[in-house]
Structure 1
């Protein structure tokens, strides 16, 4: 594939040029931004089993990581403070290391079946407070660390993106079998996937077994 390069004649470099392409922000879109978690934001968070957290290091390298757990896994400590458990993963620690360098985070809360989402921005710290961690125990396992976020901005996001994507519409679901398995792809990208389909199935089964034993 030929490398693509952007034509500099069509690159926007100033905010004034950017805003000139769009109509003015609707008054409600500006007013809806809050600096505390009101009753509606709290109810949304308590219903949500999934969020994405956006982080960035001091060099500007950005990362977005999914977080999921039983409904209401994010603890509301007060109207300006949230706590997110950190569950076992691949130990890359991308989000956590970024937070150490740059505490600014963005959260996107999702509820299955809801087309609207909740956006929360704030400043994060990593904590090992036993009282907080114990409240996040699942299957008799307590997380090693929690991400505590001081909220600076919170607002509901409209349904357009989810409706354009038909995310919850079963008629638009795709067959996962049309692509190689996750293990197959990772091996193909790294050490090389085995040509023996039986061996590949064994590796896929091993990953499924790992999911069962290392979720918490």
Structure 2
């Protein structure tokens, strides 16, 4: 693992004991709130959530975080220790899925629009293509090819401080997407080079939107 060159190594923390000396002890409630199953409050949160982030690691420890989104409740509570996440069409990099196949440890962050608190779930995942499970996750008559099945180890509600600091849901904090280049512009800049003709770039943006509409599921 490489470290940023700008860091003064004299101030890098190297063990947990050194780290914890800088902070007050964990509040007892922060420990007791962690469950190893999905209670009624966790289930209610999951049923409302249309968006999650899933963190995985490869066999050599390289980290990855990927977003997943669908209508509220798209993550299915199979039972109080098992979650099912449908895998929708994407760019077929398969980063999350291949990571899970070599290192099943995952972390989930459930987000609900308008809620400042979040739900965190940690567990162990596998990839399934069981048709009896997949059929219940079809959208627009399109059944996912696979799903992520997660055996729950830890569940807890996370406090609202991060979302309140960021003002994520505040209308006053919303930024204009038009202030930065479009997705197609950025990708082409980073690869083959973006076209200089604004009309040509606009056509590429329109084509991307059309692809979104045709391949969401």
- TM-score range for the pair, normalised by the shorter chain length: over 0.9
Corresponding residue number in structure 2 for 1:121: 122
1:4 CA drift (Å): 4.0
The two structures, once aligned, show a CA RMSD in angstroms of: 0.7
Q: Which runs of 4+ in 1 moved over 6 A?
A: none
TM-score (norm 2): 0.98
> What per-residue deviation string (whole Å, max 9, x for no partner) do you get for residues 45-99 of structure 1?
0110000000001111100000000110011000000000000000000000000
Count of aligned residue pairs for this structure pair: 214
For structure 2, the 5+ residue unaligned runs are: none
Match of 1:146 in 2: 147
User: 1:58-69 alignment to 2 at 5 Å?
Assistant: 58-69=59-70
Aligned to 1:79: 80
Deviation at 1:158, TM superposition (A): 0.2
For 2:22, the equivalent position in structure 1 comes to 21
- Work out whether 1:30 is the aligned partner of 2:31: yes
Task: Give the whole-Å Cα distance in 2 for the aligned partners of 1:182 and 1:135.
Answer: 33
Give the match's secondary structure for 1:163: helix
Q: Which residue of 1 aligns with 2:179?
A: 178
| Structure 1 Cα separation of the partners of residues 130 and 59 of structure 2 | 26
What CA deviation, in whole Å up to 9, does each residue of 1:87-128 have, x standing for no partner?
A: 000000000000011000000000000000000000000000
Query: Residues of 2 paired with 1:59 and 1:191: CA distance?
Result: 31
TM-score where L is the length of structure 1? 0.98
* Separation in 2, partners of 1:58, 1:143: 25
Return the offset for 1:6. 1.3
User: Take 2:99 and 2:131, find their aligned partners in 1: how far apart are those partners?
Assistant: 23
Show CA shifts across 1:165-210 (max 9, x none): 0000010100000000000000000000000000000000000000
Unaligned runs of 5+ in 1: none
- Counterpart CA distance in 2 for 1:144 and 1:58 is 24
